[in-house]
């Protein structure tokens, strides 16, 4: 399929769904890494270490085993659930004049036709790779139009593309881990925005008058960022996958109640993916977290690598935000 690729525009440094101000740039490290930052980093590490410690004991509790057994029986239907949820999400985007995300506008007939074809190809199992290929082209289109820095927010779609390509092949069991990693990276990249460009989220929260539960707006934005990156890391390394998916879904439902239809359109597909995570759990392959048997080694693996992941991603975000 032929796509119309428009020129890269630096004006879309990082367009948010609820603001028209595009002039934000990431703060330097010294202005980000404050005592408050270090406190919430330590708190997030503590929560991650506690989830490591309780991961296996909670999984062996009788009520949890029963719930997991019921969810395991739904695994044969995950492909159908993804196809239905993805199709609904694409149709909602088409009706709202957007593609992939609310801020990516369908300003070309090729995009509209591509979005329609991607949704239609989800009806048949044999045409799922075609739908995946179209979604991949749409992702490239978004990257060229709005910039790679912004399109990384939606790495989730690359995981979906991979899922559609391999769901009918012998390597289908690798689909869930790839989807976990791509979803985690999307959440982590969004968290970097709140950590390095806090004024952007503060402006949106101030204009909408959102509650901060006793915290200042700045502290609430930082806490939200650590919640997001904590969930992201849990998805990537495979800690309490089902509980993490349930928690993330609950957060997105609450934001949809506040922001309305635009959030519903923007989060419809990720809700579908989170339902898949609830059903799949850790999947058929061992997660990075499960490669270590010793609780101490697991804790060190999760804690040390989380810090490396956080600061490396932050450095990349700051560099890309100032150069691209």
The tokens for 178 are 């790839």
- Judge whether 311 lies within some domain: yes
- Judge whether 7 lies within some domain: no
Q: How far apart are the two ends of the chain, measured CA to CA in Å?
A: 29
Summarize pLDDT for 40-97 with one digit per residue, the tens.
Answer: 999 999 999 988 888 778 777 888 888 888 888 888 888 999 999 999 999 999 998 9
pTM of the model: 0.86
Domains: count for the chain = 1
Tally Cβ neighbours within 10 Å of residue 324.
Answer: 12
Q: Where are the alpha helices (DSSP H) in the chain?
A: 29-32, 35-59, 62-72, 78-96, 109-121, 128-146, 148-151, 156-166, 175-196, 198-208, 217-237, 241-259, 261-280, 295-323
- Judge whether 65 lies within some domain: yes
- Judge whether 44 lies within some domain: yes
- Judge whether 168 lies within some domain: yes
Domain that holds residue 190: 29-323
- Judge whether 148 lies within some domain: yes
Across the chain, what does the average pLDDT equal? 83
CA dist 247 and 239 (Å) reads 13
DSSP 214-271: TS-HHHHHHHHHHHHHHHHHHHHHTSSHHHHHHHHHHHHHHHHHHHTHHHHHHHHHHH
Phi, psi of 60 (to 5 degrees): -95, -5
- Judge whether 17 lies within some domain: no
- Judge whether 11 lies within some domain: no
CA dist 91 and 123 (Å) reads 13
Task: State what percent of residues in the chain have pLDDT above 70.
Answer: 85
Task: State what percent of residues in the chain have pLDDT above 90.
Answer: 38
């Amino acid at each position: 399929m032929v796509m119309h690729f428009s020129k890269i525009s630096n004006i879309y440094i990082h367009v948010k769904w609820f603001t028209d101000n595009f002039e934000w740039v990431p703060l330097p490290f010294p202005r980000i890494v404050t005592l408050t930052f270090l406190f919430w980093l330590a708190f997030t590490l503590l929560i991650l270490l506690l989830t490591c410690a309780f991961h296996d004991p909670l999984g062996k509790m009788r009520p949890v085993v029963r719930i997991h057994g019921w969810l395991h029986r739904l695994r044969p239907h995950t492909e159908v659930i993804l196809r239905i949820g993805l199709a609904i999400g694409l149709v909602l985007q088409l009706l709202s004049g957007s593609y992939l995300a609310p801020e990516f506008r369908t300003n070309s007939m090729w995009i509209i036709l591509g979005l329609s074809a991607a949704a239609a190809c989800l009806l048949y199992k044999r045409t799922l790779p075609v739908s995946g290929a179209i979604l991949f082209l749409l992702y490239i289109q978004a990257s060229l139009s709005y910039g790679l820095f912004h399109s990384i927010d939606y790495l989730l779609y690359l995981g979906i593309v991979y899922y559609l390509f391999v769901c009918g092949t012998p390597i289908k069991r690798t689909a869930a881990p790839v989807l976990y990693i791509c979803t985690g990276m999307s959440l982590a990249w969004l968290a970097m925005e709140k950590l390095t460009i806090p004024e952007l989220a503060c402006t949106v929260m101030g204009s909408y008058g959102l509650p901060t539960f006793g915290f200042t707006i700045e502290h609430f934005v930082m806490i939200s960022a650590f919640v997001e990156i904590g969930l992201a890391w849990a998805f990537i390394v495979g800690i309490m996958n089902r509980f993490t998916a349930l928690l993330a879904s609950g957060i997105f439902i609450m934001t949809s109640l506040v922001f309305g239809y635009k959030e519903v359109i923007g989060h419809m597909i990720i809700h579908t993916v989170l339902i898949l995570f609830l059903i799949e759990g850790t999947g058929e392959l061992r997660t990075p977290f499960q490669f270590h048997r010793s609780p101490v080694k697991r804790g060190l693996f999760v804690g040390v690598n989380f810090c490396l992941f956080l600061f490396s991603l932050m450095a990349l975000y700051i560099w890309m935000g100032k150069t691209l």
